[in-house]
Amino acid sequence: MPEPRWYRRVLTRRPWGAQLLMMVLLIFLGRDTVTDAVDDPSAWNVSIAAVWILAVVVYAATTVYQWRTRHRQDPEKCTGPVEVSDDAVAHSIASTPNRIAAIKTLREHHPGLGLREAAELIDTALATPIGCRSPHTKGPTR
C-alpha cells in the first residue's frame, strides 16, 4: 500500500505549537491586518489580508480534519501474496468447507491481503496437487 500523502499523515504526537500559532494569527495579527486593508485598500494591505485569510482557512480546515479523525487507527499494512506461506493457505483450505470460506479465513489471518490475491492463492492451492508444492517456497507456484 502506498504511503499516505503528506497532508493525510497522522501525527502520533500533536504539539501545542500549531494552536498557539493560530491564536497569534487570530488575536494579534488578524484585527490589524483586516483593519489596514479596509482603511487603506492599497495592493500591499489587501494582499497581506488575503494571505492572512487563506492561512486561517487552511489551518482551520486542517484542525477540523485532525479533530474528526483523532480516533482512527492507522491503516493496515498491505500483505502481499509472497508474504503468505503455503502452510497458511493449506490451513485455510483444510479448516473450511468451501472456497469462499477459505478465502475469508485467509484474509482474516492476513489483514492486508486483498480479495483478488487471496482468491488466487486459494485457487492455485486447490488446483495444484498437494505433493507438488515445495514446503519452503512462499506464495503460489507459477
**1 or 6, greater pLDDT:** 6
Spatial separation of the C-alpha atoms in residues 133 and 139, rounded to whole Å: 10
Domain segments of the chain as ranges: 1-75, 81-132
- The percent helix, strand, coil of the chain (3-state, each to 5) is 60, 0, 35
pTM of the predicted model, to two decimals? 0.41
**Range in 52-56, 92-96, 119-123 the model is least confident about:** 52-56
- 108-119 average pLDDT score: 88
- Report helix, strand or coil for 138: strand
pLDDT of residue 78: 66
Which residue pairs from 44-49 have beta carbons closer than 8 angstroms and sit at least 24 positions apart in sequence? none
4 or 97: whose pLDDT is higher? 97
For residue 141, is pLDDT > 50?
A: no
Rounded to 5°, angle at Cα 7 from 73 and 71: 20
